[in-house]
Structure 1
Amino acid sequence: MKNSRDNQLSDRRTAAADAKAALLKAYREAQVAAEPAKAARQAERASIAAAREARRVERERVKLEERARIEAEAAAQQAAAQAAAQAEAEARESAEKDRIARVIEDEAARKAARDLRYANRKARQA
């Protein structure tokens, strides 16, 4: 008979205090027993966090290198496009100058031919 009806208040209080003390003692013993495993888990978590941070830093570095490479390629393409545009403008200008020179030469040749015809006509008349 576990729970007999003749328990007094002091007996019940003592039993409750003993049970509470036993629970507290068991809890403290479990904490002490789990301390090495807890430290190992914390160390493992710290190493995982450090590795995660190292991977994040590496990703950032790779991202920055990629961005710098893309910017360098864009600058090179822009420089090439600018050089091509400048070469095209120079070619257009050169072609325009050649055309103007040919027009001037043609005008001079026509004028020379006209002057020759005029001189021949004057020579025939005289």
Structure 2
Amino acid sequence: MRSFNGSRFQDRQTAAAEARKALIEKFQNRPGSDDPAVQARAAERQAIVEARKIREAEKAERRAKEEAERAAQRAREEAERLAREAEEARLREEERLRMEAEEAKKRDEDAQLKAMLEAEKKAERDARYAARKARKAERRTMLERMW
């Protein structure tokens, strides 16, 4: 706070009026809009604004170009991924078909082997049956000779 220096009301009122007057003079002495210095500053500001707009437009164009490149790259990567997945699916399908063919071949071989084994067993059974019949016939002929 200011200390009381003994100023009177009239002194304070005069000081306030002088301050108002100085402020008015300051604004009145300000150069007008037709002053070359003011016009030069306005032109500078306008040039700065236009340069900023140009930079922003270039930046937006650069961003759009980069985004288009990124989108194209993503599209290429997606196409490569889809092609890779399709190739993998094709290979899996080929492997599945190959395995099925191998299994079918193995089943056929097993069936043929089983048929051969059954044929061999039948042949052995028939041979035993024929041998048994032959032994019986031989015994019969022996018994007939004895009687």
Q: Structure 1 length as normaliser, TM-score? A: 0.77
Q: 1:109 aligns with which of 127, 131, 143?
A: 127
- Structure 2: 5+ residue stretches without partners: 1-17
What are the residue-to-residue correspondences of 1:58-73 with 2, within 5 Å? 58-73=76-91
Which range moves more in the overlay, 59-68 or 88-97?
Answer: 88-97
Which 4+ residue blocks in structure 1 deviate beyond 4 angstroms?
12-15
1:7 counterpart residue number: 22
Higher relative contact order (CA 8 A, sep 6+): 2
Letter in 1 for 2:23: Q
What are the residue-to-residue correspondences of 1:41-60 with 2, within 5 Å? 41-60=59-78
2:101 counterpart residue number: 83
Does the C-alpha gap of structure 1 residues 115 and 10 become closer, same or farther in structure 2, counting only changes over 3 Å? farther
- Structure 1: 5+ residue stretches without partners: none
1:93 counterpart residue number: 111
Equivalent pairs, count: 119
Q: What is the alpha-carbon root mean square deviation over aligned residues?
A: 2.9
Q: How many angstroms does 1:36 deviate by?
A: 3.6
